[in-house]
């Protein structure tokens, strides 16, 4: 199948950083053109176009007491305004022998970061009752976790402070994928760029969703296990474990669950362990290097190393979601804490549905951290966001 060339060609900016970024949109446009030609040439196909458009204003005052951002050395903008339009195009014949899906996204910002890209563009063929073949750019979502996915080896990286991707910004990877269905077991095989391949095996065992995950990338192997089970109508428990074998071998694990009360209030609790996070000795070394820094270059280097919620190994996550007034209003509280020093993030979001297809929201993110703790290094004091989203 020639459209597979769109998936296994030279590489994209996300997977081959040394390649000229101009090639990626060209190949994405090539894939889109092939998909559209295939769809328009096919008889009796059902077409769907849907998506959303949004705008946000963000207030992020600099935290000049951060050891790595004195005098706002990192250049944090006080205000930012962004907008986006995401459009999905789907084509499916009555026979369901094939399917085309395209996700196109345009971003605009007052920070000169305007982009136009194809986040997803795939052609799926139903070749046999037991075999599907997919080629193109695909968004895969591996794992059962809510805030983190240790087994998400080929998934878009999830942000624990925005696990639902409110702006629909996820982008897929270019791949050739085969789904094989064998007596209740689903085996998915993936071939990607630079010789990367992956596999996922799923089966329902004793009312429990069980998935095995694997990825090979040159000198690195990743293996993972994901499980999830629903008890009754309200309780769900899940867990993930992943192991990476490379120059340094480490493991990541997650355990959690969620419960939905009769009034639709939903509570999620998760515990996360990252074996590649900083140990206490590594964190002390980082803090000492910052304290000993004498030049802006040294502090800028520390800014590049520092990543909130990745500078320790053990974190906790709690989410409480409260809808009311016939689901027109929604209040969400997210709290994330480092078990090493207790520094925490609190995020409160209010969403109001003005019309069935129009929502407005306000999000306030605050940090609680004593001096010297992980989140005392965050370069902003807080984050305030107001926005709206129109669905079509």
Task: Concatenate the DSSP letters of all residues of 18-67 into one string.
Answer: TS-TTHHHHHHHHHHHHHHHHHHHSSSEEEEEEEEEEEEEEE--B-TTST
pLDDT for the residue 326: 87
Alpha-carbon distance of 244 to 216, in angstroms, equals 10
CATH architecture entry for 2-391: Beta Barrel (2.40)
Alpha-carbon distance of 322 to 36, in angstroms, equals 42
Q: What is the pLDDT along the chain (392 residues), one digit of tens a residue?
A: 333 334 333 333 333 333 333 344 445 545 554 555 555 555 578 999 999 999 999 999 999 999 999 999 999 999 999 999 999 999 999 999 999 999 999 999 998 789 999 999 999 999 999 999 999 999 999 999 999 999 999 999 999 999 999 999 999 999 999 999 999 999 999 999 999 999 999 999 999 999 999 999 988 999 999 999 999 999 999 999 999 998 889 999 999 999 999 999 999 999 999 999 999 999 999 999 999 999 999 999 999 999 999 999 999 999 999 999 988 999 999 999 999 999 999 999 999 999 999 999 999 999 999 999 999 999 999 999 999 999 99
Is the CA virtual torsion 276, 278, 282, 285 positive or negative? positive
Alpha-carbon distance of 165 to 158, in angstroms, equals 8
Half-sphere exposure of 169 (CA within 13 A, CB side): 16
Q: Which two tokens stand for residue 334?
A: 């997210």
Annotate 108-123 with DSSP letters as a single string: EETTS--EEEEEEEEE
Q: Which two tokens stand for residue 151?
A: 């087994």
State phi, psi for 66 to the nearest 5 degrees.
-65, 135
Segment holding 79, helix H or strand E: strand 79-93
Axis crossing angle, helix 296-305 with helix 280-291, rounded to the nearest 10? 160
Segment holding 125, helix H or strand E: strand 115-128
> Hey, which residues does 270 pair with through a beta bridge?
256, 317
Using CA atoms of 331, 335, 336, 341 in order, give the dihedral in degrees to the nearest 10: 160
Are residues 88 and 53 in contact, defined by beta-carbon separation less than 8 angstroms? no
Q: What is the pLDDT of residues 246-286, one digit of tens each?
A: 888 999 999 999 999 999 999 999 999 999 999 999 999 99
Contacts 24+ apart (CB under 8 A), 179-187: 179/131, 179/132, 179/133, 179/134, 180/130, 180/131, 181/129, 181/130, 181/131, 182/130
Alpha-carbon distance of 186 to 203, in angstroms, equals 7
Structural domain boundaries in the chain = 2-391
Q: What's this model's pTM, rounded to 2 decimal places?
A: 0.87
């Amino acid at each position: 199948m020639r459209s597979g060339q769109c998936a296994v060609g030279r590489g994209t900016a996300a997977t081959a950083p040394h390649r000229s970024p101009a090639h990626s949109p060209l190949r994405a446009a090539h894939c889109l053109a092939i998909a559209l030609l295939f769809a328009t040439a096919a008889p009796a196909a059902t077409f769907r176009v849907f998506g959303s458009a949004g705008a946000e204003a963000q207030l992020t005052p600099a935290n000049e007491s951060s050891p790595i951002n004195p005098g706002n050395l990192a250049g944090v903008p006080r205000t930012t305004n962004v907008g986006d339009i995401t459009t999905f195009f789907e084509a499916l014949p009555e026979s369901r022998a094939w399917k085309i899906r395209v996700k196109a996204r345009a971003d605009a910002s007052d920070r000169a970061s305007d982009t136009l890209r194809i986040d997803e563009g795939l052609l799926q063929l139903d070749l046999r009752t037991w075999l599907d073949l997919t080629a193109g750019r695909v968004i895969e979502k591996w794992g059962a976790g809510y805030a983190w996915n240790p087994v998400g080896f080929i998934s878009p990286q999830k942000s624990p402070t925005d696990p639902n991707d409110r702006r629909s910004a996820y982008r897929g990877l270019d791949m050739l994928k085969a789904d094989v269905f064998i007596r209740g077991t689903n085996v998915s095989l993936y071939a990607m760029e630079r010789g990367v391949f992956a596999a996922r095996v799923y089966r329902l065992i004793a009312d429990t969703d069980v998935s095995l995950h694997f990825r090979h990338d040159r000198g690195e192997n990743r293996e993972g296990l994901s499980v999830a089970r629903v008890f009754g109508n309200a309780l769900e428990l899940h867990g993930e474990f992943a192991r990476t074998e490379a120059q340094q071998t480490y493991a990541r694990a997650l355990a959690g669950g969620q419960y939905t009360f009769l009034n639709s209030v939903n509570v999620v609790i998760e515990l996360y362990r990252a074996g590649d996070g900083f140990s206490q000795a590594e964190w002390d070394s980082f803090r000492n290097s910052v304290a000993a820094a004498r030049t802006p270059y040294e502090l800028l280097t520390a800014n590049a190393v520092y990543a909130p919620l990745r500078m320790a190994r053990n974190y906790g996550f709690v989410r409480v979601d409260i809808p009311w007034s016939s689901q027109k209003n929604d209040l969400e509280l997210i709290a994330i804490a480092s078990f090493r020093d207790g520094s925490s993030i609190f995020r409160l979001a209010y969403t109001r549905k003005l019309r069935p297809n129009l929502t407005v929201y306000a999000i306030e993110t605050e940090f609680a951290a004593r001096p010297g703790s992980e989140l005392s290094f965050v370069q902003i004091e807080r984050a305030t966001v107001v926005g709206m989203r129109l669905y079509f």
